[in-house]
């Protein structure tokens, strides 16, 4: 049985069942008339409450028909109201919820990547609340172009001529390849046949873009001559992919952008570079690892550069295409652009974030991701020591809690070999030996099932919360305020 609570099927079931053995179930109307149920109607609305009452009675009826113990034995006003309140609250819970990311990976794809700065959040709220000049030129009173809201900023920040924005960087790569190299060859080094998580593989995306992959070089070494020898009448472009989520070490060689840019220019073909992470400013000044910047890539002769909005850039999910005016104009005319275009919320958030980049000195305090990434380990350790007594108290008897140094990952495939010194709260089950694994899993689950779920990770026999991303006083209050729910033994 499918568990339908449709009244007709209930009636049929009632008629078909033997009438003697069943306990009497209350009618739906009687339950709806109870004062405490009426109070739920005021809170949740009539239709959800009616549906919940039908489910309650229907489930009880089904369980008795199947000879099982009835789920709802107590039909008193209070018992019914409390069962309904639990069901209604669960159904009213949004699916997409805030969590506290203490996994130690700052740009965590499964947890939504970059947290946005207030400026971006306000811009999104404004854009979505009513009409806006998304594709309307306010000065001329004529139709405008949605890309214009970020074009000036990206030209200033990257030195490019033209800009277009799509849904994510995977879409940007697909769109650029399809526009510039459909039914032609795209030359890619064997050392850059990258797979990024979530089934995005360069060879596959090229096939989908209608572009033939022309591999050159070897896994560890590719030379300029390999590219030069592959160029012919069928060549559509040279594609360079930033190997953001792994490092090739040892006896290696790859061709730098400047040399490739010169070769592409000489041969009259575009050099496209997929940068992936898209740092827009040199992050080494804040003690972070260096990443290639679109402005350098353009200066080195790339004609089209693509990167993500929600990785190191610290903005919304977006794919940003910057480059040469003529090529970007062709990309914008591709019908696929219409299918992949960014919406007004994305563009509002992206514009607000890009504005922050105009004043790099204030970035660490204003751009959330940079603030998190550049947070000193000593400050995180201090926070861990401050939280230790409350967490240890909440888990008293269940776990031994300590503060340990650890290393955070930047995440989203960025800079995998680099990690940032940090500090964590580590919880080890109080009893070792048999059942220890289960106890550890129970601690992990208890944090995950808190009202504001706390996501950490289990490694080397401990549940670990890297506190790098517990960043504001409000976060700290939210975190400690719900620790009581752990102690109540969920």
* Residues of this chain that bind ligand PLP (CB under 6 A): 168-170, 173, 194, 196, 200, 241-242, 244, 274, 276-277, 308, 319, 413
> In the complex with ligand PLP, which residue's Cβ is closer, 315 or 429?
315
CB of residue 413 to ligand PLP, shortest distance in Å: 4
Tell me the C-alpha distance between 389 and 75, whole Å. Answer: 44
> In the complex with ligand PLP, which residue's Cβ is closer, 56 or 239?
239
CB of residue 168 to ligand PLP, shortest distance in Å: 3
67 by Cβ neighbours in 10 Å (0-12 / 13-18 / 19+) ranks as: exposed
> In the complex with ligand PLP, which residue's Cβ is closer, 264 or 272?
272
> In the complex with ligand PLP, which residue's Cβ is closer, 342 or 443?
342
CB of residue 276 to ligand PLP, shortest distance in Å: 2
CB of residue 212 to ligand PLP, shortest distance in Å: 20
CB of residue 109 to ligand PLP, shortest distance in Å: 7
HEC sequence for the chain: CCCCCCHHHHHHHHHHCCCCCCCCCCCHHHHHHCHHHHHHHHHHCHHHHHHHHHHHHHHHHHHHHCCCCCCCCCCCHHHHHHHHHHHHHHHHCCCCCCCEECCCEEECHHHCCCCCCHHHHHHHHHHHHCCCCCCEECCCCEECCCCHHHHHHHHHHHCCCEEEEECCHHHHHHHHHHHHHCCCEEEEEHHHCCEECCCEEHHHHHHHCCCEEEEECCCCECCHHHHHHHCCCCEEEEEEECCCCCCCCCCCECCCHHHHHHHHHHHCCCEEEEEECCCCCCHHHHCCCCCCCHHHHHHCCCCEEEEECCCCCCCCCCEEEEECHHHHHHHHHCHHHHHHECCHHHHHHHHHHHHHCCCHHHHHHHCHHHHHHCCCHHHHHHHHHHHHHHHHHHCCCCEEEEEEEEEEEEECCECCCCCEEEEEEEEEECCCCCCHHHHHHHHHHHHHCCCCCEECEEECCEEEEEHHHCCCHHHHHHHHHCCHHHHCCC
> In the complex with ligand PLP, which residue's Cβ is closer, 164 or 277?
277
> In the complex with ligand PLP, which residue's Cβ is closer, 242 or 428?
242
CB of residue 319 to ligand PLP, shortest distance in Å: 6
> In the complex with ligand PLP, which residue's Cβ is closer, 135 or 204?
204
> In the complex with ligand PLP, which residue's Cβ is closer, 306 or 424?
306
Distances (CA, A) of 178 to 172, 212, 266: 10, 11, 23
> In the complex with ligand PLP, which residue's Cβ is closer, 170 or 216?
170
Tell me the C-alpha distance between 432 and 437, whole Å. Answer: 9
CB of residue 261 to ligand PLP, shortest distance in Å: 18
Nearest residue (beta carbon) to ligand PLP: 276
CB of residue 169 to ligand PLP, shortest distance in Å: 3
CB of residue 243 to ligand PLP, shortest distance in Å: 7
> In the complex with ligand PLP, which residue's Cβ is closer, 31 or 196?
196
């Amino acid at each position: 049985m499918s568990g339908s609570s449709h009244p007709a099927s209930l009636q049929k079931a009632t008629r078909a069942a033997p009438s003697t053995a069943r306990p009497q179930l209350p009618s739906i109307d009687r339950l709806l008339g109870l004062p405490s149920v009426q109070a739920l109607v005021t809170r949740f609305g009539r239709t959800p409450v009616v549906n919940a009452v039908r489910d309650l009675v229907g489930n009880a009826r089904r369980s008795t028909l199947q000879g099982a113990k009835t789920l709802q034995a107590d039909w008193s006003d209070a018992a019914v109201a409390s069962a309904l309140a639990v069901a209604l609250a669960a159904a009213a819970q949004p699916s997409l919820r805030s969590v506290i990311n203490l996994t130690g990976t700052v740009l965590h794809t499964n947890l939504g990547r970059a947290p946005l700065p207030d400026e971006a959040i306000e811009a999104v709220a404004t854009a979505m609340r009513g009409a806006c000049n998304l594709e309307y030129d306010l000065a001329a009173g004529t139709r405008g172009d949605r890309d214009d809201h970020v074009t000036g900023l990206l030209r200033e920040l990257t030195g490019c001529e033209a800009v277009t924005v799509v849904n994510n960087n995977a879409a940007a790569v697909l769109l650029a390849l399809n526009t510039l190299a459909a039914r032609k060859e795209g030359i890619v080094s064997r050392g850059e046949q990258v797979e990024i998580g979530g089934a995005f593989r360069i060879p596959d995306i090229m096939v989908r873009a209608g572009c033939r992959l022309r591999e050159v070089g070897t896994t560890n070494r590719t030379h300029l001559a390999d590219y030069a020898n592959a160029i012919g009448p069928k060549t559509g472009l040279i594609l360079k992919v930033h190997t953001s989520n792994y490092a090739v070490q040892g006896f290696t060689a790859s061709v730098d952008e400047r040399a490739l840019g010169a070769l592409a220019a000489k041969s009259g073909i575009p050099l496209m570079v997929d940068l992936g992470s898209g740092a827009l400013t040199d992050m080494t000044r804040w003690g972070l690892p260096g990443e290639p910047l679109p402005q350098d890539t353009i200066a080195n002769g790339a004609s089209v550069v693509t990167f993500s909005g929600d990785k190191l850039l610290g903005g919304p999910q977006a794919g940003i295409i910057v480059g040469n005016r003529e090529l970007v104009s062709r990309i914008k005319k591709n019908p696929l652009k219409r299918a992949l275009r960014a919406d007004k919320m994305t563009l509002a958030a992206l514009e607000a974030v890009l504005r922050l980049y105009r004043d790099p000195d204030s970035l660490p305090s204003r751009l959330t991701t940079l603030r998190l990434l550049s947070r000193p380990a000593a400050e995180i350790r201090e926070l861990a020591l401050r939280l230790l007594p409350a967490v240890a108290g909440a888990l008293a008897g269940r776990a031994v809690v300590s503060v340990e140094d650890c290393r955070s990952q930047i995440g989203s495939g960025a800079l995998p070999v680099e990690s940032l010194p940090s500090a964590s709260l580590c919880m080890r089950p109080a009893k070792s030996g048999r059942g220890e694994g289960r106890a550890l899993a129970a601690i992990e689950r208890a944090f995950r099932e808190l009202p504001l779920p706390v996501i950490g990770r289990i490694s080397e026999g401990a549940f670990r919360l890297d506190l790098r991303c517990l960043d504001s006083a409000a976060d700290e209050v939210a975190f400690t305020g719900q620790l009581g729910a752990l102690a109540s033994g969920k």
